[in-house]
Amino acid sequence: MSEPLGKLNKRDLIKTALRHYIGVSTYNYDTGTASGLVWEMFPALRKIYKKDDDLVQSLNNHFKFYNCNPWLSPLITGATLAMEEKNGIQSLEAVQNLKVGLMGPLSGIGDTIIWVMIPTILGAIAGSMGQKGDPTGLFLFLFLWLLMSFTRPYLYIIGYKSGTNLISNLGDSLKSFTDAISILGITVIGSIISTTVKVNVGWQFVRSGVKVNLQDILNKLCPSLLPAIVVLILYLLLKNKKAKMGWLIVGIIIISMAGAAVGLFKA
Amino acid sequence: MGMSFLQASSITLLAYIYNLDRHATQFFGKMPILYGAITGMILGDVKTGLMVGATLQLMSLGVANIGGSSMPDYIVAAIISAAISVTTGKGIAAGMAIGLPVGMLTMNLDVIVKLINSAIAKKAQTFANRKQFGKMQKMIPIATFMYPLEAALPVFLAVVFGKTVVESILNFMPQWFTVGLNVAGGMLPAVGIAMLLVYMPMKRYGYWIIIGFVLSAFLKMPVLGVALLGCAAAVNQFKNENTHNTNVTATMANLNKEDMEDE
């Protein structure tokens, strides 16, 4: 225990940050991405722990279940490195508590913003432009995403420097930020429903020589009424009936084909 | 139009790189449209590739791999659909007839890969406990380089055998099947959008969806315009909420009021 602990310099952190790009590729059902975490932190941990026995103890601690949104995970790993550098294996329990405590909330924020909100907004723009053969939206998506990608290693430095204080300090404004971006997201989703979901009815009624097109009537009632209804039904199924997404996709394909066969739907 | 050996292997390599990136570096995110366009580029028809990719991009909206769950792989679907659409010249529906099912089957391979990863992680920990740190470090990245095969393998098979399969299907394909696929293509984005809404705080901010819907459905505003207005609303909300936070009592009162309104 009296063994002195090694100190990390900026180069070690950058090395860890670059190794972090191995990300979730090691995901498994038992321990999540723990082995990936061990791999990225190993050089830094080797430097901190001079004694092999201590190193093994620390590694075994990091081999426990870990799963966090890879974009925000550096905040946690940076902080744990700072803790282990200071207190060595005596900090292991605190390190584990920090990891377990933070990986949930950070994943919640990260997954919503990084994997759902941003790809949906940018993807809707890129997709609706791309369907007409216009690649502008694609370039916008690509440019903004690459810009975000290269900021990830800095989170390591931030996490390391501010240690455990960071998250509690950010706490309040993080919530406001998530709320604000939710509003942006929901507004855009409202727009996406009418621009990307297409349901066209093919049925026509002939009454005393007058042709009545059902789709025209629906359009007069409210444009994009059917897409909105489809989204609403699917939302209720997912939310209240806990329907599986795969089944909904298969269901829609079957309904579309049946509808096409009887002429209810047209492309 | 056929496909050369070089083109087939480039497309397979593209699928490998995509999946490597998706699971590790994540430089390119979820962009079926990008991979569709690149596949088109490899085959000399960027425009078709872009349009097929765009269709699948819209279908994938809101579908996210959250917490390591397995989802249909729309990018595999985009690569295959673009390749089939360009080589058969029979439109997007023909491509999707093969691309979509393969994209959905890919998620089963995902389960197998994750099980193999368990074994790799266990082995790595054993090495660590034996103090064979070098071996441990070599063991873990095996998962990284094996993972992308889950995309490369199905893409390779579909690209090599897909065209013949599709052409024989197309010859027998009844009209309701092609029309039905096109109809499904229009309707499927709804699944992802609905899924997305489940994750959003609909109870508190759900009414904003009406504003976005009306702007686009009635006023025909493009998504980018709505997103800009949404940004303004978001900034406004952020400012308001931060002001509220400075006054704790006001915030509490406000929260209680909101909760009551929710019920």
Burial of residue A145, with CB atoms counted within 10 A of its CB: 0-12 exposed, 13-18 middle, 19 or more buried:
buried
Which residues in chain A have Cβ-Cβ distances shorter than 8 Å to B28? 142, 145-146
Measured CA to CA, the distance from residue B130 to residue B133 in angstroms comes to 8
SS3 state of residue A266: strand
Measured CA to CA, the distance from residue B243 to residue B260 in angstroms comes to 22
Report the gap between the CA of A82 and the closest CA in chain B (Å).
Answer: 22
Tokens of B162: 């897909």
- Tell me chain B's radius of gyration from C-alpha atoms: 23
Q: Between these two residues, A176 and B194, which has the higher pLDDT value?
A: B194
Query: How many beta carbons lie within 10 A of that of residue A206, not counting itself?
Result: 8
The answer to whether the Cβ–Cβ distance between B181 and A234 falls below 8 Å is no
Instruction: Answer for the pair A225, B213: CB distance below 8 angstroms, yes or no.
Output: no
Instruction: Answer for the pair A72, A153: CB distance below 8 angstroms, yes or no.
Output: no
B229 vs A: CB within 8 A: yes
The answer to whether the Cβ–Cβ distance between A115 and B118 falls below 8 Å is no
Amino acid at B5: F
pLDDT bucket at B251, cuts 50 / 70 / 90:
very low
Which residues in chain B have Cβ-Cβ distances shorter than 8 Å to A121? 223, 227
The answer to whether the Cβ–Cβ distance between B205 and A179 falls below 8 Å is yes
The answer to whether the Cβ–Cβ distance between A238 and B194 falls below 8 Å is yes
Contacts of A188 (CB under 8 A, 6+ apart): A120, A121, A124, B212, B223, B226, B227, B230
List phi, psi (to 5°) of A6: -75, 155
- As beta bridge partners, residue B167 has none
Instruction: Answer for the pair A6, A47: CB distance below 8 angstroms, yes or no.
Output: yes
- pLDDT at B94 (0 to 100): 80
Reference A199, options B90, B230, B193; nearest CA is B193
Tokens of A79: 């902080």
Contacts of A127 (CB under 8 A, 6+ apart): A137, A196, B33, B54, B55, B57, B58, B61
- pLDDT at B170 (0 to 100): 63
Instruction: Answer for the pair A126, B57: CB distance below 8 angstroms, yes or no.
Output: yes
Measured CA to CA, the distance from residue A87 to residue A48 in angstroms comes to 10
B121 vs A: CB within 8 A: yes
Which residues in chain B have Cβ-Cβ distances shorter than 8 Å to A181? 234
pLDDT bucket at A139, cuts 50 / 70 / 90:
very high
Which residues in chain A have Cβ-Cβ distances shorter than 8 Å to B141? 22, 39
Which residues in chain B have Cβ-Cβ distances shorter than 8 Å to A258? 180
Measured CA to CA, the distance from residue B192 to residue B196 in angstroms comes to 6
Amino acid at A199: V
- pLDDT at B207 (0 to 100): 92
Tokens of B64: 């996210």
- Distance set, CA A248 to CA A189, B30, B191, B197 (Å): 19, 21, 7, 15
Measured CA to CA, the distance from residue A58 to residue B131 in angstroms comes to 12
The per-residue pLDDT for range B155-177, each reduced to its tens digit, is 998 888 877 776 676 667 677 87
- pLDDT at B53 (0 to 100): 93
Which residues in chain B have Cβ-Cβ distances shorter than 8 Å to A25? 20, 23-24, 143-144, 147
Tokens of B143: 């998962």
- pLDDT at B127 (0 to 100): 92
**What average pLDDT score do residues A131-138 get?**
91
B129 vs A: CB within 8 A: yes
Instruction: Name, of A14-18, A61-65, B47-51, B60-64, the range with top average pLDDT.
Output: B47-51
Best residue in A24, A66, A191, A248 for a mutation probing chain B (most B CBs within 10 Å): A191
Reference A44, options A74, A78, A8, A76; nearest CA is A8
pLDDT bucket at B66, cuts 50 / 70 / 90:
low
Contacts 24+ apart (CB under 8 A), B254-262: B258/B204, B262/B203, B262/B204
Amino acid at B189: P
Measured CA to CA, the distance from residue A178 to residue A165 in angstroms comes to 20
Residue B248 pLDDT exceeds 60: no
Chain A's closest residue to B145, CA to CA, is A25
Instruction: Answer for the pair A210, B160: CB distance below 8 angstroms, yes or no.
Output: no
Tokens of A264: 């209810």
Best residue in A224, A253, A264 for a mutation probing chain B (most B CBs within 10 Å): A253
Amino acid at A44: A
- Distance set, CA B211 to CA A144, A186, B55, B88, B235 (Å): 26, 9, 25, 42, 16
Residue B254 pLDDT exceeds 60: no
The per-residue pLDDT for range A47-93, each reduced to its tens digit, is 999 889 999 999 998 988 888 888 888 888 888 888 888 888 888 87
**Which residues in chain B (48-107) have CB-CB distances under 8 A to chain A?**
50-51, 53-55, 57-58, 60-68, 71-72, 100, 104, 107
Amino acid at B74: Y
Residue A174 pLDDT exceeds 80: no
SS3 state of residue A242: coil
Measured CA to CA, the distance from residue B156 to residue B162 in angstroms comes to 9
The answer to whether the Cβ–Cβ distance between A190 and B234 falls below 8 Å is no
Measured CA to CA, the distance from residue A196 to residue B82 in angstroms comes to 19
DSSP conformation class of B24:
I
Tokens of B22: 């998706």
B114 vs A: CB within 8 A: yes
Instruction: Name, of A96-100, A149-153, A214-218, B45-49, the range with top average pLDDT.
Output: B45-49
Which residues in chain A have Cβ-Cβ distances shorter than 8 Å to B208? 183, 186-187, 190
How many CB pairs below 8 Å do chains A and B form together? 384
Burial B18-54 (b: 16+ CB within 10 A, else e): bbbbbbbbbebbbbbbbbbbbbbebbebbebbbbbbb
Which residues in chain A have Cβ-Cβ distances shorter than 8 Å to B37? 130, 135, 138
Looking at A221-235, B27-41, B239-253, which range is the least confident one? B239-253
- pLDDT at A172 (0 to 100): 60
The answer to whether the Cβ–Cβ distance between B129 and A56 falls below 8 Å is yes
CA angle at A7 for the pair A3 and A10, rounded to the nearest 5°: 165
Chain A's closest residue to B127, CA to CA, is A56
Measured CA to CA, the distance from residue A190 to residue A87 in angstroms comes to 51
Measured CA to CA, the distance from residue A148 to residue A142 in angstroms comes to 10
Which residues in chain A have Cβ-Cβ distances shorter than 8 Å to B21? none
The answer to whether the Cβ–Cβ distance between A26 and B245 falls below 8 Å is no
- pLDDT at B98 (0 to 100): 84
